[in-house]
């Protein structure tokens, strides 16, 4: 029996659809300011309430205009109580009597509520998560990467994947005016960082659909420089691309690859699995892969990473985490003499 068979399960969509004002009012006093409900943010000395509740047919979250934090209902419970994700789901399911998947009994959690005068220990790093509003505002089909996708795959499928993975477009400079934005969003819906890359869109070039290697950066740092995010922001890049889809498709098989490009190209071709990307060859760490607990995961490493990934995933700790199966696909189909070859290379050449 795998761990997934004995852990409590919750319908995250149902829990995050609980009206945000009902959730926040369990912990704080709400006041009306214009058309919005507001309250004091728990994570800074907030004399003038800066946490605004957004609640309508499309939105159900809280956003702090001082510390730039965005909270879904589950996020707010986690931050207010100190519970982990499962603990917050269990508490909400019990408190609001909903969101429990049939056949599972939630564990009872008694949260320790933090008041506005309390904070976590100073030795605990508080990472900066990029507000989802910024990500949503960048979602676009105009990036160099998506232009390449449109030439190779059904446009309707591509548009779906742009929304699903929240692929954005950002003008980094006059030269790189159509960078693709690959957001790293974890299974809790927190945006860790935004990866910028630019792709060659010239179909006559041998570099078509290949990234410009010398142009790569993280947008989080740029947003700090522009004053959009706080100067003391600390980013945690240990998050897989596409991890936010794991809770959306809890019973689907997972395919793990190295790069966001591989994940998107794979998802464009094969739609019967959740495609996620580690980000780079060295990101295959237990802390990064914890979100895969109990899942069936097919792993397709790039050709030059097959040995390393096979070794890492063969450890007892990794075997207990998830059902990993490493494929040597990129070794079998790589052209003779090709030192580096990935699954996107194969799909795009057939």
pLDDT for 201-226, tens place per residue?
A: 999 999 999 998 777 889 998 988 88
Query: To 5 degrees, how large is the angle CA 225–CA 240–CA 287?
Result: 105
User: Residue 57: pLDDT above 80?
Assistant: no
Q: Are strands 179-185 and 191-199 parallel, antiparallel or unpaired?
A: antiparallel
Torsion of Cα atoms, 118 then 122 then 127 then 133, to 10°: 30
What CATH number was assigned to the domain covering residues 249-348?
A: 3.40.1360.10
CA dist 106 and 97 (Å) reads 11
Of the ranges 43-57, 59-73, 133-147, 325-339, which is most confident?
A: 133-147
Residues 116-143 have a mean pLDDT of: 73
pLDDT band at 154 (very low <50, low <70, confident <90, very high): very high
Sign of CA dihedral 176, 238, 163, 325: positive
pLDDT in tens, 241-266: 999 999 889 999 999 999 999 999 99
End-to-end CA distance of the chain: 39
Residues 105-113 have a mean pLDDT of: 48
User: Residue 102: pLDDT above 80?
Assistant: no
- Residue ranges, comma separated, of all CATH 3.40.1360.10 domains in the chain are 249-348
What CATH number was assigned to the domain covering residues 3-96?
A: 3.90.580.10
Of the ranges 81-85, 214-218, 236-240, which is most confident?
A: 236-240
Q: How confident is the model at residue 2, as a pLDDT?
A: 31
Q: How confident is the model at residue 144, as a pLDDT?
A: 95
Q: How confident is the model at residue 142, as a pLDDT?
A: 94
Torsion of Cα atoms, 295 then 296 then 301 then 307, to 10°: 100
């Amino acid at each position: 029996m795998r761990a997934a068979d004995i852990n409590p399960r919750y319908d995250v969509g149902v829990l995050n659809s609980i009206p945000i004002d009902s959730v926040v009012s369990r912990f704080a006093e709400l006041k009306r300011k214009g058309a919005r409900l507001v309250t004091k943010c728990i994570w800074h000395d907030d004399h003038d309430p800066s946490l605004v509740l957004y609640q309508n047919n499309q939105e159900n979250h809280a956003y702090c205009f001082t510390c730039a934090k965005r909270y879904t209902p589950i996020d707010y419970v986690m931050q207010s109580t100190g519970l982990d994700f499962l603990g917050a789901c269990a508490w909400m399911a019990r408190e609001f009597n909903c969101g429990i998947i049939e056949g599972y009994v939630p564990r009872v959690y008694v949260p320790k509520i933090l008041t506005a005068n309390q904070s976590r220990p100073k030795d605990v790093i508080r990472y900066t998560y990029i507000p989802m509003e910024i990500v949503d505002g960048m979602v676009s089909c105009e990036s160099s990467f998506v232009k390449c996708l449109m030439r190779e795959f059904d446009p309707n499928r591509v548009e779906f994947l742009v929304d699903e993975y929240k692929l954005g477009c950002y003008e980094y400079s006059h030269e790189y005016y159509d960078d693709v934005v690959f957001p790293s969003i974890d299974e809790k819906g927190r945006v860790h960082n935004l990866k910028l890359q630019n792709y060659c869109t010239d179909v006559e070039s041998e570099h078509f659909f290949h990234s410009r290697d010398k142009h790569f950066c993280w947008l989080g740092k740029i947003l700090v420089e522009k004053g959009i995010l706080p100067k003391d922001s600390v980013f945690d890049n240990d998050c897989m691309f596409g991890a936010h889809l794991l809770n959306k498709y809890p019973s689907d098989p997972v395919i793990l690859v190295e790069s966001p490009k591989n994940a998107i190209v794979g998802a464009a071709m094969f739609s019967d699995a959740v495609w996620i990307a580690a980000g780079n060859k060295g990101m295959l760490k237990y802390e990064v892969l914890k979100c895969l607990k109990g899942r069936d995961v097919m792993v397709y490493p790039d050709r030059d990473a097959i040995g390393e990934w096979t070794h890492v995933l063969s450890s007892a700790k990794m075997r207990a985490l998830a059902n990993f199966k490493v494929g040597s696909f990129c070794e079998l189909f790589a052209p003779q003499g090709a030192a580096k070859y990935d699954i996107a290379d194969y799909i795009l050449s057939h």
